[in-house]
Structure 1
Amino acid sequence: MNLALRDIRHRLGRFLITCLGVGLLLGVALAMVGISQGVVAEALALTRSLRAELWVVEAGTRGPFAEARRIPGDVREMVARVPGVSAAGSITLRTAEMAAPGRIIRAQVMGYEPGRPGWPSNISAGRGLGGARHELVADERAGLGLGATVLMGQDRYRTVGLTRGLVASGGDPLVFIHLRDSQELQFKLSPPAARRAAASGAGQGSTDTVNAVIARLHPGADAREVAETIRRWKHLSALTDAEQSELLTRSVANRARVQLGMFTVVLLFVTGVIIALIIYTMTMDKLREIATLKLIGAPDRTIAGLVLQQALLLGLAGFAAGLALIFAVRDRFPRTVALGPEEIGVMLAVVVTICALESLVSIRAALKIDAQAALGG
């Protein structure tokens, strides 16, 4: 007789409700793990889409994603002449708000030069930027359709293309516009500010400024050697794609990952306590049945196995419910939920370990039950 399955069969409603409650807790924990992995995926999505092999920035800085610094626009031509570089393109990057009909969209706006490195490679609908000014390519999370218009600065921009999965490390959708449009939005002074600058003798200054230059290399060129060549120019620094990816993973996205990881640990601890209480209650509800097993000579390992089996069944059923819930709703999350086989396997192993450890208290209580309790009234 399998006491665990018999108890579940006779109390099926209570068991299913309990599994649902545990499943909700585990679903939240799975969501935290998925969002933590999604933060890294989002941080690296842009660099992978741009297919940049080298990032040239101001000396002493760590790239446009970590610091908002500027370099002259003519740096692009200097980088393009470096041995090993096949093509170079200037980019600007800033966070801005766009006015769409009935709402305000917060996005990270990137300016690039069509035909040069900097354009997104994963356009899912429409086209990339052409020769016309005041066009934009937006990620689908911005909620803009093809042909939709938004107001940025004093100009209206028309959506000509859509990307998928390109968001900033903070979760804002990425929007791509012409470099010249972006430079005017970011660096050109407003008329009142320009008049004040002129009155003070500072002048308006040039808008031929960029945040970084990205480069692609000839086949066989060593990115580290090319970067070292550029670093010899004391006013510039260079990061390889591997260095930029490591920076995004460890610096820009690290704090969010640590916070999500701590929250996941707390959730798993709470889940473990709840599973322990549930299993202990279920074990005490079967006091007479366990005493009867002892009375007929059942060994301790059989009783321990029954309690452990019920704990594992509860944990596995709750895990399956939580996993099904997350996969059903993860596309509705504002952040990417990246749950792959590796993350699911690790979480499953954690849940099984928690159930096995938490069942020890109930097993100890079951083994202390007196066989004479089976003869009580």
Structure 2
Amino acid sequence: MNLALRDVRHNLGRFLLTCLGLSLLLGVVLSMIGIYRGLVDEALTLARAPGADLWVVESGTRGPFAESSRIPGDERDSVARLAGVAEAGSLTFQSVETAHRGRTLRLYVVGHELNRPGAPARIVAGRPITRAHYEMVADRRSGLDLGERLRLGRNDFTVVGLTDGLVASGGDPVVFLTLADSQRLQFDLDPPAARRERARGSGPAGTDIVNAVVARVLPGVPVQEVADTAARWKHLSALTQGQQEALLLQSVVEKARRQIGLFTTILLAVSAVVIALILYTLTMDKVKEIATLKLIGAPDRTIVGLIVHQALAMGVIGWSVGTVLILLVKDHFPRRVVLTPEDALMLGAAVLIICVAASGLGVRLALKVDPATALGG
């Protein structure tokens, strides 16, 4: 006879309601883990999009994602001539806002050179940019459709291709322009500002500025050696792809990781307290039943098993329902939520440990029950 199962049947409504509340709490815990995974994935997606081995940036900076970097556009030719470099391309990065369909659309614009590293590696619909001006490849999260026209700055751009899952670390969808178009968007002054600068006698500033030069290295050539060679120029710094990703995570994701980790720990602690209080309450409700079991000679392990089995049942049901709920709604989150089987299993193991530990309060109460209580009024 399974005493835990019989007791659950006797208090089925309260038990199921408790499991539902616990499942919602564990679902939030799992979603926080998925949100962190999504932050990391989004942060690295853009850095990995060019398929580069080497990033050349302004001296003293840590790359275009962690901080501002501005170098002359002709540095691309210098990098391309380095021994071991197969090809190189210039890139610009900037955030823009524009009005579209009656709403404000925020985008992360990447400018790249045609037929050089930096273009999106995978286009899910349409085609890559083939014209030198006024064409765009946008991510699906922007809400833009093929053939649609979008005004950026003083020019209209036509969407000729779509990517999927390319967003900046801030969550803004990425759009790709040619390098010349992106530089014009970044540096060209509005007509009133341009007239004011001419009235002041200031000539037009040079616009052949890029944020980084990316390079692909020939097979068999050590990337770090090429990076060391590029870094000998005092006005440039060079980072391997691995170093760029590590810096990106440290500078952009680190604080979010700590905050999400702290919040997840607090939620797990709250879950443990909730389970402990519920089991304690359930144990108090059946003090006479436990006393009767002791009076008829039931061993302590039977009584302990009654409470521990209920705790494990609540944990398993809460974890299972919470996982299913998050899997059903994760695609509706405004930011990407990445759930892996390993994370779900680790959370399940942690929940089982928490349930066993939380049952100690109820077990302690049950073992202190006097068998004479069963004979009371």
Instruction: In structure 2, give the amino acid aligned to 1:22.
Output: L
Taking the TM superposition and a 5 Å limit, the aligned residue runs for 1:105-124 are: 105-124=105-124
**Equivalent residue, structure 1, for 2:366:** 366
Partners of 1:85 and 1:22 in 2: CA distance: 56
**Equivalent residue, structure 2, for 1:151:** 151
Per-residue Cα deviation, 1:136-192 (whole angstroms, up to 9, x for no partner): 111111111212222211111111111111111111111111111100011122223
Taking the TM superposition and a 5 Å limit, the aligned residue runs for 1:45-60 are: 45-60=45-60
Taking the TM superposition and a 5 Å limit, the aligned residue runs for 1:185-196 are: 185-196=185-196
Given the alignment of the two structures, is residue 278 of structure 1 paired with residue 278 of structure 2, yes or no? yes
Given the alignment of the two structures, is residue 355 of structure 1 paired with residue 359 of structure 2, yes or no? no
Q: Tell me the TM-score normalised to structure 1 length.
A: 0.97
Instruction: In structure 2, give the amino acid aligned to 1:143.
Output: G
Instruction: In structure 1, give the amino acid aligned to 2:313.
Output: L
**Equivalent residue, structure 1, for 2:247:** 247
**Equivalent residue, structure 2, for 1:181:** 181
RMSD value over aligned CA atoms? Answer: 1.3
Partners of 2:127 and 2:254 in 1: CA distance: 34
Partners of 1:76 and 1:260 in 2: CA distance: 40
Structure 2, unmatched stretches of 5+, are none
More deviation in 170-179 or 237-246? 170-179
Given the alignment of the two structures, is residue 315 of structure 1 paired with residue 315 of structure 2, yes or no? yes
Q: Indicate the percent of aligned positions where both proteins have the same amino acid.
A: 58
Per-residue Cα deviation, 1:302-322 (whole angstroms, up to 9, x for no partner): 211221111111011111111
Runs of 4+ aligned structure 1 residues displaced above 4 Å come to none
**Equivalent residue, structure 2, for 1:229:** 229
Partners of 2:234 and 2:222 in 1: CA distance: 21
**1:16 Cα deviation after fit:** 1.5
Tell me the matched-pair count.
Answer: 377
**1:132 Cα deviation after fit:** 4.7
Check whether the contact 2:125–2:163 (CA below 8 A) recurs between aligned residues: yes
Taking the TM superposition and a 5 Å limit, the aligned residue runs for 1:204-353 are: 204-353=204-353
**1:11 Cα deviation after fit:** 2.1
Q: Secondary structure at the match of 2:13?
A: helix
Check whether the contact 1:194–1:203 (CA below 8 A) recurs between aligned residues: no
Partners of 2:22 and 2:173 in 1: CA distance: 34
**Equivalent residue, structure 1, for 2:78:** 78
Partners of 1:196 and 1:237 in 2: CA distance: 36
Check whether the contact 1:100–1:150 (CA below 8 A) recurs between aligned residues: yes
Q: Secondary structure at the match of 1:138?
A: strand
Given the alignment of the two structures, is residue 89 of structure 1 paired with residue 89 of structure 2, yes or no? yes
Given the alignment of the two structures, is residue 376 of structure 1 paired with residue 376 of structure 2, yes or no? yes
**Equivalent residue, structure 1, for 2:101:** 101
**1:19 Cα deviation after fit:** 0.9
Per-residue Cα deviation, 1:216-261 (whole angstroms, up to 9, x for no partner): 1111111100000000000000100000011112221111111111
Check whether the contact 1:128–1:161 (CA below 8 A) recurs between aligned residues: yes
Check whether the contact 2:61–2:68 (CA below 8 A) recurs between aligned residues: no
Per-residue Cα deviation, 1:37-70 (whole angstroms, up to 9, x for no partner): 1111111111222211100000000000011221
Q: Secondary structure at the match of 1:123?
A: coil
Partners of 2:195 and 2:24 in 1: CA distance: 60
Q: Secondary structure at the match of 1:22?
A: helix
Partners of 1:285 and 1:186 in 2: CA distance: 70
**1:7 Cα deviation after fit:** 1.3
**Equivalent residue, structure 2, for 1:169:** 169
Partners of 1:305 and 1:332 in 2: CA distance: 41
Instruction: In structure 2, give the amino acid aligned to 1:100.
Output: H
Instruction: In structure 1, give the amino acid aligned to 2:270.
Output: V
**Equivalent residue, structure 2, for 1:11:** 11
**Equivalent residue, structure 2, for 1:131:** 131
Partners of 1:139 and 1:252 in 2: CA distance: 21
Instruction: In structure 2, give the amino acid aligned to 1:101.
Output: R
**1:21 Cα deviation after fit:** 0.7
More deviation in 120-129 or 87-96? 120-129
**Equivalent residue, structure 2, for 1:22:** 22
Q: Secondary structure at the match of 2:137?
A: strand
More deviation in 67-76 or 287-296? 287-296
Instruction: In structure 2, give the amino acid aligned to 1:50.
Output: P
Partners of 2:274 and 2:124 in 1: CA distance: 45
Partners of 2:322 and 2:264 in 1: CA distance: 14
Q: Secondary structure at the match of 1:337?
A: coil
